[in-house]
Chain A
């Protein structure tokens, strides 16, 4: 293993109490790993003209260019340089789950990923906002690019507990209406919700022209179902108890779960969204690379 990787290992990061430190460790570790930051294309100096398209706001038409070339171009660089990113975290109770032998719960893992991303964005002088949701919006930090805002994001993340039932679909609709400015919306969730409703919510985001990326975090036990002895499963989010014989149920369960994952992936693909799947036993850079490599390919957006 490369040296930097040890800083991205969930086992190591679990020991780091300070989220700021952890986020920095992740990013620096990640950068040291010869990866190119996917956010370079969104720097403040970047500017371009774009041909007018039907529906564009006439206020941004560059009349000087029109005078010279008789063509309608929009002055877009001023606005584009103000890149905003919303980190949308699912903090429902299901995110609290941490299987035996795993260092981080899904929530803790998601929190680290969010912190790292916020760090990257704000370091680039872009604005990062935070939104934690379950069946409602729990916290909403408007995007800002000041370093102090990063502190606020960390504070909020540190003081939010995974609790409550999830109702992502409804919340996504609400947020889609609330976020007016086209933004990059990074959703981190286990998606343990009504997938159809979630997809409708995501569709709403897309409809509002947001760039949406989805990072699905799952616990390894949820995928591997490693139980041998009979287990009494106590459902989170007010779901009932269930006594089960894991050995005989394993295949059936895994089939159901894989079906769900595939449905989520397919849904994202259909909506032309980035989709990444991470397990909490995976290294953080895996999560970031899975996610950011997609971003890089879409830098031209």
Chain B
């Protein structure tokens, strides 16, 4: 084990430094002396020449006498003040006077990298044992505070300096390794704050017990974080003795699953879903044929052998087809190593039977395919009477007047087609719907009142999308100009399916008319698809948790051929699925991050509870009440990795699953080493721990410096009287007292 110990060679301090205020009393004789000089009487004097002769002859001696008496008086007060301040000193770690108690701040790393299993015990157990032995070998009067290096769990465990050894040991025994990453900077900051406490204890130590894992102690990605930790260590070493106890391992080999993901946030029945797994070998040696398993609902469904090259990411993929609707627990497992926690990763896959889409028609018509939503409905659900459509998207068409009375939260997405006007009420409904995770697609057309649009749903501050509609371009009646799509290099995920697939006809779609738009700078909108005129055809924006998409042309045949073009069905299907993902966006978080749960109106009366991976149950009723307005529950106790199950407490509502995974930051066990922390923090070589811990017991009873000083003060009081009575005798005694005092200090060692 390496021990980094930073301590000055010679230390001098005061156990009660505030009593040093008494040093000011040393000024009293000087003040009296000065005042005395100023207060005098005046008289005429005849025998002046004798006075002058006496003064001439004796003034030097008198001055010397006065100075010596003044010195003795000042010394009396000075030594008295110093003695009451209970001074102590130490040389090279051995304390001359060990009576001075120490204020120790223990900083123990409980991040999940400390779970690394050694031959006998984990790193954490080793660290806890060190902390325990430090406390056990402390002396009476020593005060302790305890901090753990975690991120979500409270870091300050003993916030007030405690002198009760049993209590401190109990708190240390309660320490458990977390599954969080270690926020070292925050812990050091807490230690720095703690140093301000227990002012009566002048001798202070900060003992950090950690594996000094590079990612936590010197974040490579954040240079600022790194320098912050260094500056904190510097600040700590200025105020206290900083002792770094490294329990880290020399050979850092660790395999970890750093990511487990899928392109789609939900799956549909009987449709294969691709699941991608990212693995990382943090060791220096290649690992071949490592078994990787996929569990679905705790059943092993697939496994494969993967080769993991040293210090590199490796991608693996599984494909799975779900046969049951609802949330599914997905887990990938890697063979256990010495740090097993990061060899598992969890994911929740909601499987939907159908996606409900509300189509709002703005143009009534009795003709076949005459309504604004007809082509869209057909594209989303191409059912024929003799062959019902088996797809998951279920469109439901309403007329624009019904929008205000429809419960939008029942739908995963809403598509608005050629609606002429919006009221403010409708705008607010849509806005609330989107911000809570709903998807909204607005397509334009002949009926659209530009002014109304710009004042309601596109209003700069209260609208749903930050842009402005301008004039129309082209003429759908005369077909004077043809516009085609520019796929913008197929960067957007919705467009990505058309990449390398020219037969789908995206780029050959003909549009005759569209609305031009104006985008204010610095907005969160981005184009999905452009026209060849470089005007946007489809624009995406976000609002709250939901997505809003504006299509600047119509979704029927009036303004172009798109509705009957092969690119139309896949395009609108992708778009609808894309905007509908808002509701599933946050089913996975890292340990310590809060889960945000959206509730529906009809769930408000329920008494939900969250079941953690350790089967601990957290009632959410009170949380629900307090956040009634937003209908959002924030669950913060995600301190363990695994599945969290939200039980709504009603048979009618299915439980919702969430997956919580550890941060891959802690998987990299690379040790920080002296090259990243300046050399001055590593003054103490290995082995200082024993010196530090083994303070000889018999020294605790030695007469202290304070007693010695008090004796000197007593002697000086006698000397002062002697000086006034017989100066020569007094001066001689003064010299003797000083000599004896110095010798006794020397032998006090």
Contacts and interface: CB of A to CB of B under 8 A. Distances in A.
A229 interface: yes
B62 to A, nearest CB: 5
A190 interface: yes
B40 A232 contact: yes
Interface string A96-137: 110010000010000000000000000000000000000000
Nearest to B40: A230
Interface stretch (B42-50, B139-147, B153-161, B695-703): B42-50
Interface in B663-700: none
A249 B58 contact: yes
A251 to B, nearest CB: 8
Contact of A242 (B36, B39, B52, B66): B52
Listed residue (A97, A234, A256, A260) with the most chain B CB atoms within 10 angstroms of its CB: A256
A234 B50 contact: no
B51 A233 contact: yes
B250 interface: no
Contact of B42 (A234, A236, A237): A234
Contacts of A94: 46-47
A253 interface: yes
Contacts of A227: 41, 43
A236 B53 contact: no
A236 B43 CA distance: 10
Contact of B49 (A239, A245, A248, A255): A239
Contacts of A235: 44-45, 48
A192 interface: yes
B43 A229 contact: no
Given A249-B62, A253-B50, A257-B50, A233 B43 contact: yes
Given A222-B46, A234-B45, A242 B51 contact: yes
Contacts of B66: 245, 248
Interface in B448-464: none
Could you say which of B36, B45, B55, B58 has the most chain A C-beta atoms within 10 Å of its C-beta?
B45
Contacts of B238: none
Given A229-B39, A231-B41, A244 B47 contact: no
B65 interface: yes
A192 B53 contact: no
Contacts, number: 94
Nearest to A93: B46
A243 interface: yes
A253 B45 contact: no
A260 B43 contact: no
A222 B44 CA distance: 11
A244 to B, nearest CB: 6
B37 interface: yes
Contacts of A96: 44, 46
A219 interface: yes
A230 B44 contact: no
A229 B54 contact: no
Contacts of B57: 252, 256
Nearest to B44: A234
A227 B66 CA distance: 18
Most buried by A among B50, B58, B65: B50
A277 to B, nearest CB: 14
A221 B428 CA distance: 109
Contact of B47 (A93, A222, A229, A249): A222
Interface residues of A, number: 35
A94 B40 CA distance: 23
Interface residues on B, range: 20 to 34
A260 B53 CA distance: 11
Secondary structure class of chain B's binding surface, majority of residues: helix
B12 to A, nearest CB: 39
Contacts of B48: 233, 235-237, 239-240, 242
B46 to A, nearest CB: 4
Contacts of A245: 62, 66
B46 A244 contact: no
A13 to B, nearest CB: 21
A253 B54 contact: yes
B49 A231 contact: no
Given A244-B55, A249-B55, A252-B58, A190 B46 contact: yes
Contact of B46 (A100, A192, A229): A192
Interface in B49-76: 49-55, 57-58, 62, 65-66
Nearest to A162: B46
Contacts of A93: 46
A253 B36 contact: no
Nearest to B65: A248
B731 to A, nearest CB: 15
B66 to A, nearest CB: 7
Interface string A147-178: 00000000000000000000000000000000
B51 A236 contact: no
A253 B62 contact: no
Contact of A233 (B36, B39, B45): B45
Nearest to A259: B50
A219 B46 contact: yes
A248 to B, nearest CB: 5
A253 B53 CA distance: 8
Interface string A245-281: 1001100110111001000000000000000000000
A201 to B, nearest CB: 18
A245 B58 CA distance: 11
Contacts of B65: 248
Interface in A196-237: 219, 222, 227, 229-237
Contacts of A97: 44-46
A57 B48 CA distance: 48
A94 B51 CA distance: 14
Interface string B65-97: 110000000000000000000000000000000
B61 to A, nearest CB: 9
Contacts of A240: 48, 52
Contact of B41 (A192, A232, A253, A255): A232
B301 to A, nearest CB: 106
A248 B47 contact: no
A242 B50 CA distance: 11
Contacts of A237: 46, 48
A2 B55 CA distance: 44
Nearest to A166: B46
Given A235-B45, A236-B45, A229 B51 contact: no
A190 B47 CA distance: 9
A146 B452 CA distance: 147
A256 B54 contact: yes
Interface string A179-201: 00000000000101000000000
Contacts of A249: 51, 54-55, 58, 62
A256 B54 CA distance: 7
Given A192-B49, A239-B49, A249-B62, A231 B42 contact: yes
B51 A192 contact: no
Given A229-B39, A248-B65, A248-B66, A253 B51 contact: yes
A248 B43 CA distance: 18
Contact of B50 (A100, A232, A256): A256
Contacts of A233: 43-45, 48, 51
Contacts of A95: 46
B40 A243 contact: yes
A230 B62 CA distance: 14
Interface of B: 36-37, 39-55, 57-58, 62, 65-66
Closest 7 CB pairs of A and B: A252-B54, A235-B48, A230-B40, A94-B46, A97-B46, A233-B45, A239-B48
18 contacts: A94-B46, A94-B47, A96-B46, A97-B45, A97-B46, A192-B46, A219-B46, A222-B47, A231-B40, A232-B41, A234-B44, A234-B45, A235-B45, A236-B46, A237-B46, A237-B48, A242-B48, A257-B47
Given A248-B65, A257-B50, 9 more contacts: A192-B46, A192-B49, A234-B42, A234-B44, A245-B66, A248-B62, A256-B51, A256-B57, A257-B47
